[in-house]
Amino acid sequence: MKKLYIGNDNTVVLTCPACDKAKVVDVSRYLGSDGPINFTYRFQCDDCRCGHSSCKECVRENCTLGHVNTVQLERRKIARKELSLSGIFLPNTKDVMQVKILDISRKSVRVEFLGHTKADDGGKGIVDFLLDDPKETRVRKSVLVERCEGKEAVLVFQDEQSFSAADKAIGFYLMSIDQ
Shared domain for 29 and 68, answered yes or no, is: yes
Per DSSP, the three-state class of 179 is coil
Domain boundary among 74, 93, 122: 74
User: Beta strand 124-130 with 80-91: parallel, antiparallel or unpaired?
Assistant: antiparallel
Shared domain for 90 and 170, answered yes or no, is: yes
Q: Domains in the chain: how many in total?
A: 2
pLDDT of residue 179: 42
Grouped pLDDT means (10 residues each) for the chain, 179 residues? 76 77 83 77 65 54 68 74 92 86 91 84 91 91 89 87 79 68
Dihedral angle, C-alpha 156, 159, 163, 164, nearest 10 °: -90
**Rg of the Cα atoms in the chain:** 21
Shared domain for 86 and 171, answered yes or no, is: yes
Structural domain span for residue 106: 80-176
Shared domain for 93 and 164, answered yes or no, is: yes
Q: Are 126 and 120 in contact (CB under 8 A)?
A: no
Shared domain for 67 and 86, answered yes or no, is: no
Domain boundary among 26, 58, 74: 74
Domain boundary among 55, 74, 93: 74
